[in-house]
Amino acid sequence: MSNKTQKELDITKDIQYFMNRKSLNIDIGFRCPLECPRCQRQRQWRNNGLKVPGRDLTLEEIDKISDFYNDFRFCGQLSDPVHHPKFSKILEMLRKKNVRCEIHNAASAKSKEYYIKCFKANPDAEWIFGIDGLPEESHMYRVNQDGEKLFNIMVESKKYLKNKPIWQYIVFSYNETHIEQAKKLAKEVDVPFMLIQSSRWEGDDDPLKPKNKEVALNALW
C-alpha cells in the first residue's frame, strides 16, 4: 500500500497529466492578407520593404509532426491558418488522428463556402475569431479585415461545430469604450466573449494603447 498522502497523490496525478499532454503552437504557412500595425509581419518585414519569409508545411510534414503532439494550436503569429491552401485537408487528417485543433483566425478574405468546408472537415475543432472591437470598427487595427463578414461567419460556424466559437477582443484605444456593447452582442448571438490585452505597445504614448488602465487590467494576457 502506498505511503503517499492524498495531496502527494494529487500532485503526482497533475504532473502525469501535464507530462502526457503534448500541445504545439504552430504556424503552418506564411500568408496573411491583414496588415495589423503591431504584428511582427509588419514591423520586421513589410515596414522595411521586405517580403515575409516562409513556406507552407506539406500534409506529409504535418502528419509526421502530429505523431508527437495531440494538441495543435494554429496560433496565427506570422500567418493566418485558413490561408494554407490545404487547410481543410489538414483539419480532416488531424480529426481522423484524434488530434485536438484550436484555430485562431482574423483574416476575412476567404469565402463563406470555404469556411463551411473547413468547419465540416473537423467539427471537433475549436475556433477563436479575432474581431477587435464592434464588427464595423475592427478594421481599425485589423487592417484589410471585413469585421462584419467575419462576425457573420463566426455566428454561422455554430451550425457545424460541436464547440461554440469564441469571440476574441483585444482592447485598444478605439474600442475600449465599446466593450459592454460587444459583450451584449456576443450574448445575443450566443458566443463566448474573451477580452484580452496586447503586449506589443510602442511605449506609453502608443496611440493604440487603451487610456483606461482598469479596462486593460481586467483583460487577459
| Higher pLDDT pick, 176 / 8 | 176
pLDDT value at residue 214: 73
Tens digits of per-residue pLDDT, 60-88? 999 999 999 999 999 878 899 999 999 99
Which pLDDT band, with edges at 50, 70 and 90, does 142 fall under?
A: very high
Which amino acid belongs to residue 102?
Answer: E
Burial 173-198, CB ≥16 within 10 A → b, else e: ebbbeebeebeebbeeeebeebbebb
pLDDT value at residue 41: 86
All structural domains of the chain: 22-217 (3.20.20.70)
Is the pLDDT at 57 greater than 50, yes or no? yes
Spatial distance between the Cα atoms of 78 and 75, rounded to a whole number of angstroms: 8
Across the range 94-101, mean pLDDT stands at 97
| Higher pLDDT pick, 14 / 142 | 142
Scan for cell 488602465, then name that residue. Answer: 213
Which pLDDT band, with edges at 50, 70 and 90, does 1 fall under?
A: very low
Spatial distance between the Cα atoms of 198 and 61, rounded to a whole number of angstroms: 32
Contact 193, 218 (CB under 8 A): no
Across 13-17, 42-46, 160-164, least confident range: 13-17
Query: Which ranges in 21-137 belong to alpha helices (H)?
Result: 40, 59-65, 87-96, 112-121
Which pLDDT band, with edges at 50, 70 and 90, does 18 fall under?
A: very low
Closest among 197, 157, 149, 148 to 173, alpha carbons compared: 197
pLDDT value at residue 208: 92
Q: For all residues of the chain together, what is the average pLDDT?
A: 90
pLDDT value at residue 199: 80
Contact 66, 99 (CB under 8 A): yes
